[in-house]
Amino acid sequence: MRILVVGAGAIGGYFGGRLLQAGNDITFLVRPKRAAELASAGLVIKSPHGDVTLKNPPTVQADQLTEKFDVVLLSCKAFDLDDAIKSFASAVGPKTTIIPLLNGMKHLDTLEQIFGAEAVMGGQCQIAATLNEQREVVQMTPLQVLSFGERKGGSSERSKAIDAIMKSGNFGGTSSETIIHDMWEKWVFLASIAGATSSMRGAIGDILAAPGGRDFILGVRDECAAVAVANGFTPRPAFIERTEAMLTAEGSKATASMYRDILGKSAIEADQIAGDMIARADAAKVAVPRMRMIYTHLKTYENQRVG
């Protein structure tokens, strides 16, 4: 099975690199600068699960794509989706499966409109990783999960075939029969931690130590959970218990990548994580005052950044 990994940054570089390390047929779709970096230094992964340097990983650039792939693993930022689609569209054939690992849910509609419902699976990953100054992929905590599946639920022959390959990467890759529910739960947590840490400019422990901090964090979580419920995906008890423990851990240094992006004056996924949550809340007539404040904050940052 030939897999095209769109991007070789923190997410694509890690999961694609682990699959390549396991001997799978992996090609990275990258821009010229990243292609030169990988040709020179290789794909370097530094991780609690073991370091590896993959010399001369297979790469291709958009104008060089001439063949169709069995699977496209899409790992770009949500705000780069349109450009990413243009770059990999020629690699999509009638039997290609697209597995997006983007945040939020809005991207599913965009991909379906262009490639058709059958081509697009659901997908999500959980990992704290970044590219350091040496352009190495650095995994910051042991957490690593990648799941995918048929959006209508259940299993299929293709999901079973892809599952076998994902498991070979030893990063918790697995097929899920409830992938859309999984994606909603991830979105609820991500919107909560990203919204709280980005708007308050601090780690979870810093917010909890402030007056009203605990109520604010859990209030954001409750608003997002209510939106999920209204859309037919009630967060399951195990998810609520696990995420509440993370969001109320005294002294926690946990932040979201969005907060780190703000500190680095980088682009953020304000519309995809917060804006779309508000849009779905409005459609379902769910009140989300905390999320509205967060969104205003995030859009103010974006205006400052581009202005």
For 31, phi and psi rounded to 5 degrees? -80, 165
Q: Cα separation of 25 and 147, whole Å? A: 19
- The letter for the amino acid at 294 is I
Strand order in the sheet with 92-100: 59-60, 25-29, 2-6, 69-74, 92-100
Catalytic residue among 68, 167, 186, 285: 186
- Nearest residue to 235 via CA among 221, 252, 216: 221
Beta bridge mates, 29: 6, 60
Distance CA 176, CA 267 (A): 31
| 68: β partners | none
Compute the distance between CA of residue 119 and CA of residue 276 in angstroms, rounded to an integer.
23
CB atoms within 10 A of CB 202: 18
DSSP 103-118: SSSHHHHHHHHHH-GG
Contact criterion met (CB below 8 Å) for 116 and 96: no
Two structure tokens written together for 298: 């995030």
196-202's contacts with Cβ under 8 Å and 24+ in sequence apart are: 196/220, 196/247, 196/294, 197/254, 197/255, 197/256, 197/258, 197/259, 198/256, 198/258, 198/259, 198/262, 198/268, 198/294, 198/297, 198/298, 198/301, 199/293, 199/294, 199/297, 199/298, 201/259, 201/262, 202/255
Please indicate whether residue 95 is annotated as part of the active site: no
d(CA 8, CA 36): 12
Tell me which residues are annotated as active site.
186
